[in-house]
Amino acid sequence: MKNILVVDDNKTNLMSAKAVLSEKYKITAVTQAAQGLRYLQNNICDLILLDVEMPEMDGFEMIQKIKEMQLEKEPPVVFLTGNTDAVTVTRCIESGGVDVIAKPFVKALILARLEHILEWMDLKNREWQI
């Protein structure tokens, strides 16, 4: 079962993500970017769902710190945001995110996008092993 780390300061959003995703994925949910970084130091995850706007450390700062960690297997980051204007979405992609999902998210859409990204990552990893 794929492991997804969800980082969002809003507990309602975390509960919603867990309810939607836990049928298909192992979910680790944290409310602060610093908690997410600590988790990544000792655990491998297959994908990160990352809120853009959080206190103390926002999603852009967290993705930069993830890159600085030089993890053996850096998971793809999908940003979650209520602000889907062109500037924010562009910044999400330019900072290293593989996708942006608007909040509140639609169950069928988030499941389809995550499945597609995880399948793509599996194919990409297999190509490098040949």
Q: Which residues of 41-60 are buried (b: 16+ CB within 10 A; e: fewer)?
A: eeeebbbbbbbbebeebebb
Structure tokens at 26: 């192992």
pLDDT tens per residue across span 84-122: 999 999 999 999 999 999 999 999 999 999 999 999 998
Q: What is the Cα Rg of the chain in Å?
A: 14
In one-letter notation, the amino acid at residue 16 is: S
Give the neighbor-by-neighbor strand order of the sheet with 77-81: 26-30, 3-7, 47-51, 77-81, 99-102
pLDDT at 127: 61
pLDDT tens per residue across span 36-89: 999 999 999 999 999 999 999 999 999 999 999 999 889 999 999 999 999 999
List domains and CATH numbers for the chain. Answer: 3-129 (3.40.50.2300)
Between residues 127 and 26, the one the model is more confident about: 26
8: burial class by Cβ within 10 Å (0-12, 13-18, 19+)?
A: buried
